[in-house]
Amino acid sequence: MGKVNTKVDLLGIELDNPIIPASGTFGYGYEFAELYDINILGTFSFKGTTKDPRFGNPTPRIAECPAGMINAVGLQNPGVEKVVEEELPRLAKCFNKKVMANVGGFSVDEYVYTAKKLDACDQVGWLEINISCPNVHGGGVNFGSYPDSAAEIIAAVKKEVKKPVIAKLSPNVTDIVAIAKAVEAAGADGISLINTLLGMRINLNTRKPIIANKMGGFSGSAILPVAVRMVYQVANAVSIPVIGMGGVTTAEDVLELMMAGATAVEVGAANLIDPYASRDIVLDLPRVMEKYRINDINEIIGGCK
């Protein structure tokens, strides 16, 4: 069959392959560079970054589950100034591609401030706006829970930055398509989904929740079918590129999300179980493409009708 083509174009930047470790599962990259050459990846989305440093939620904040895990880390990060001054220069020593910046916030102004700071960094290729953060001034509901609040964040950020803006959507909503259409109308260049589902575990001995916050984000292989369904629905409803994620552990999972409509695919919890997970998916992708008689990975994007 000859050499297969794994290259994809993500909003004007060519990726060697569509594999992108997801935010919060790959740190700021250099930690993984001690294990393997991370330049093998398409790119990666670094740890969710906010305006101010955050210690995160109280512990315990991780709970294991069959086929997944629950986390309530709470956007622990050193704040955007430190990321720009310390983390990105460290990354530049081991990663020579554009990186995806993941932006969190608790108000419209915070999102805009952080996005502008990261937009000015040459290393940053895309801004992934995590609208699944609680709106502290709006009763604590996630910005991504309603079309209007999701659109407000994206429109405000888009007005102030030059780089492509990707809206990261929460699956914990009734109508994912309505929110996808709202962020597209607000100017989003792309959409990434799904973020974690909401889950909970109880300790049978203490009869109390395992996680101090009671609930947290449920991720892992169990959520793949939900991700495939939502990517399919959104990709068929919008005309901007979609990045799929949720439960990806194999190259086959990557192809499935791409057939559902994803241009690129993020790998999340798998990196926390096996630090070589993303590398192994990249290396296995050509073999799996040949198995399913796929010469060019672009030909399968949205191929499921």
Q: Are 44 and 10 in contact (CB under 8 A)?
A: no
Q: Which domains does the chain have, with CATH numbers?
A: 8-300 (3.20.20.70)
Lowest mean pLDDT among 61-70, 111-120, 199-208: 61-70
Reply yes or no on whether the pLDDT at 292 is more than 70: yes
Reply yes or no on whether the pLDDT at 195 is more than 70: yes
Question: Mean pLDDT in the chain?
Answer: 94
Measured CA to CA, the distance from residue 184 to residue 228 in angstroms comes to: 20
Reply yes or no on whether the pLDDT at 1 is more than 60: no
Reply yes or no on whether the pLDDT at 131 is more than 70: yes
Q: Are strands 99-103 and 124-130 parallel, antiparallel or unpaired?
A: parallel
Contact residues for 98 (Cβ-Cβ < 8 A; gap 6+)? 13, 43, 123, 124, 125, 126
- Which segments of the chain are extended strands (E)? 8-10, 13-15, 19-21, 62-65, 68-71, 99-103, 124-130, 165-168, 190-193, 197-199, 202-203, 208-209, 216-219, 242-245, 264-267
Q: What is the dihedral of CA 11, 16, 18, 21, to 10 degrees?
A: -100
pLDDT band at 273, cuts 50/70/90?
Answer: very high
pLDDT band at 278, cuts 50/70/90?
Answer: very high
pTM above 0.75, yes or no: yes
The pLDDT of residue 139 is 59
C-alpha 84, offset from chain centre: 20
Measured CA to CA, the distance from residue 263 to residue 241 in angstroms comes to: 6
| Mean pLDDT across 168-197 | 96
Strand, coil or helix: 85: helix
| Mean pLDDT across 175-202 | 96
Measured CA to CA, the distance from residue 258 to residue 82 in angstroms comes to: 35
Instruction: Identify the CA nearest to 227 among candidates 178, 185, 176, 179.
Output: 176
Instruction: Identify the CA nearest to 263 among candidates 154, 126, 145.
Output: 126
Q: Which of 65, 94, 121, 133 is catalytic?
A: 133
The pLDDT of residue 144 is 82
Reply yes or no on whether the pLDDT at 184 is more than 90: yes
The pLDDT of residue 2 is 62
Asked about 133 being catalytic, the answer comes back as yes
DSSP 299: G
Reply yes or no on whether the pLDDT at 157 is more than 90: yes
Reply yes or no on whether the pLDDT at 135 is more than 70: no
pLDDT in tens, 3-53: 999 999 999 999 999 999 999 999 999 999 999 999 999 999 999 999 999
